[in-house]
């Protein structure tokens, strides 16, 4: 008998085959995990691309609307004491000509301005180009923090809140009865809101103190539905609370959303047209 054959362990071959099977299994599992990782990356990239596309459409829409509003009102804004801002708000500054002192009653001069401004404004934003993209038109009433004879700052704030809310409601009521807007009254009731904000958003001087005169103002602000669309996409991705709710401007919302994806090019930051 060959002595070499006597030295062979019959279990050695079985053990080697066992380890080969384990290594094959581990290699197979690694391939599965790698495939899952690749699939996940493709899904995330697809979702990011969707966010980027919505963001680009949003930026283009805002720029187009800004240009259309500018073209329509550039000759009127100076005589109205108003300004068109890059965030699509149109601000009417109160130089003593918006409301009666301490009252929600519109001054005749401001009522005349609104009768000229608002039908033209609505004609633009309800055009086929924008109509389906508008989520809300906000009428915002702002006051200074001052209130004559207020005992505390809280009293002044609450009194100004009540006044600003009354003023925006009276503004909306006046606009709804304009003859030129009757054909769009149903759309207006669904999309135009009155929002009194008291002194919560004061305008400041260069020194950082409250500018009481400029803080007393009325603003018309357009909100598109881009943030809602992006929020839906992010929720599909499992990203929660990325886009802030509430009364933030849309530039902040889109910046928050696209920080999870591809950041779109920023719009040109020009000074407001006054």
Give residue-wise pLDDT tens across range 221-272: 999 887 677 777 667 666 554 444 444 455 555 555 555 444 333 334 444 5
Mean pLDDT within 135-147: 95
| pLDDT, position 262 | 41
**If we measure between CA atoms, which residue out of 264, 269, 270, 268 comes closest to residue 57?**
264
Q: How confident is the model at residue 155 (pLDDT cuts 50, 70, 90)?
A: very high
Domain at 75-224, CATH homologous superfamily: OmpA-like domain (3.30.1330.60)
pLDDT tens, residue by residue, 85-97: 999 999 999 866 8
CB 135 within 8 A of CB 192: no
CB 88 within 8 A of CB 254: no
Residue 150, token pair as written in the block: 């207020």
Q: Quick one: three-class SS letters along 49-86? A: HHHHHHHHHHHHHHHHHHHHHHHHHCCCHHHHCEEECC
In the block, residue with structure tokens 């598109």: 224
Please calculate the CA angle 182-188-193 and round it to the nearest 5 degrees.
140
pLDDT of 20 higher than 70: no
Pairwise pLDDT comparison (162 vs 12), residue with the higher score: 162
| pLDDT, position 27 | 80
pLDDT of 51 higher than 90: no
The pTM of the full predicted model, rounded to 2 decimals, is: 0.71
Mean pLDDT within 159-185: 97
Rounded to whole angstroms, how far apart are CA atoms 170 and 191? 17
Q: How confident is the model at residue 4 (pLDDT cuts 50, 70, 90)?
A: low
* Alpha-carbon distance values, 199 to 111, 147, 210, 273 (Å): 23, 10, 10, 24
Rounded to whole angstroms, how far apart are CA atoms 77 and 105? 22
R_g (Cα) of the chain, nearest Å: 31
Q: Could you give phi then psi for residue 136, rounded to 5 degrees? A: -165, 145
pLDDT tens, residue by residue, 182-196: 999 999 999 999 999
| pLDDT, position 102 | 85
Which is it for strands 134-142 and 217-224: parallel, antiparallel or unpaired?
A: antiparallel
Domain boundaries of the chain, sorted by first residue: 75-224
What percent of the chain is modeled with pLDDT above 90? 54
């Amino acid at each position: 008998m060959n002595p070499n054959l006597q030295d062979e362990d019959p279990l050695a071959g079985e053990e080697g085959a066992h380890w080969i099977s384990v290594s094959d299994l581990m290699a197979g599992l690694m391939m599965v995990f790698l495939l899952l990782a690749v699939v996940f990356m493709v899904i995330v990239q697809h979702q990011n691309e969707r966010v980027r596309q919505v963001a680009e459409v949003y930026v283009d829409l805002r720029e187009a609307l800004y240009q259309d509003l500018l073209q329509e009102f550039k000759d009127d804004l100076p005589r109205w004491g108003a300004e068109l801002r890059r965030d699509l708000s149109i601000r009417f500054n109160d130089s003593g000509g918006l409301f009666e002192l301490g009252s929600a009653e519109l001054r005749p001069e401001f009522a005349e301005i609104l009768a000229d401004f608002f039908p033209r404004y609505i004609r633009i934003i309800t055009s086929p180009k924008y109509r389906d993209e508008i989520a809300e038109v906000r009428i915002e009433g702002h006051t200074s923090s001052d209130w004559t004879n207020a005992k505390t700052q809280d009293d002044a704030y609450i009194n100004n809140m009540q006044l600003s809310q009354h003023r925006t409601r009276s503004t909306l009521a006046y606009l709804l009865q304009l003859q030129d807007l009757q054909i769009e009254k149903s759309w207006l009731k669904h999309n135009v809101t009155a929002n009194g904000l008291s002194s919560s958003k004061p305008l400041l001087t260069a020194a950082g103190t409250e500018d009481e005169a400029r803080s007393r103002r009325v603003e018309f602000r357009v909100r598109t539905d881009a943030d809602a669309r992006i929020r839906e996409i992010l929720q599909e991705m499992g990203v929660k609370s990325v886009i802030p709710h509430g009364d933030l401007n849309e530039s902040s919302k889109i910046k928050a959303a696209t920080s999870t994806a591809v950041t779109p090019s920023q719009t040109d930051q020009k000074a407001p047209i006054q």
